[in-house]
Amino acid sequence: MARDEPHSPASTTPLRDYLDRPARGASEDYLVVPRSLAQSMPLRWQQVFTGLLADLHDAYGDLEWPEYRVAPCRYEALTDLDEDQLALAGYLADLGPDGELVYRDAEDGVVDDPESHRVLAPIADPLPPPSAGRVEPRAARKL
């Protein structure tokens, strides 16, 4: 870099910066790393990742960690969900007085425009379980 070129300092929050943009497995509060994919990483990556996890657990081991239940989900239109998916997402569909389906939320409020209302709904996990063995990564992009 030439001396007269402006230099922007490195971020002091690189992980937050990365996860604040759309990232697979990241939500506002959590980062989920599928175990089958983590165990399929090259050996060196696994060694580094294991060290980082060990450091994280050591640094925050005094906190009371709960057990987590992770469920595969994706955003779907409310009208595309079956009865079980509706219930798990906290919604109910009933016939209204005119014979049309009326969608209600957990507080029994009517959902306006259910065709465009999208909710996080449970789905079958598209990723293989750890018991399936190594998951081959896609080929590297050509430079």
Above pLDDT 90, what percent of the chain? 78
Q: Which of 9-13, 47-51, 86-90 has the lowest mean pLDDT?
A: 9-13
Residue 95's Cβ-side half-sphere holds a number of Cα atoms within 13 Å equal to 3
pLDDT (average), residues 117-121: 94
pLDDT surpasses 70 at 136: yes
User: What is the identity of the amino acid at 129?
Assistant: P
**How far apart (Å, rounded) are the C-alpha atoms in residues 127 and 37?**
9
Residue 34 tokens, joined: 């599928």
User: Which is higher by pLDDT, 52 or 137?
Assistant: 52
pLDDT surpasses 90 at 62: yes
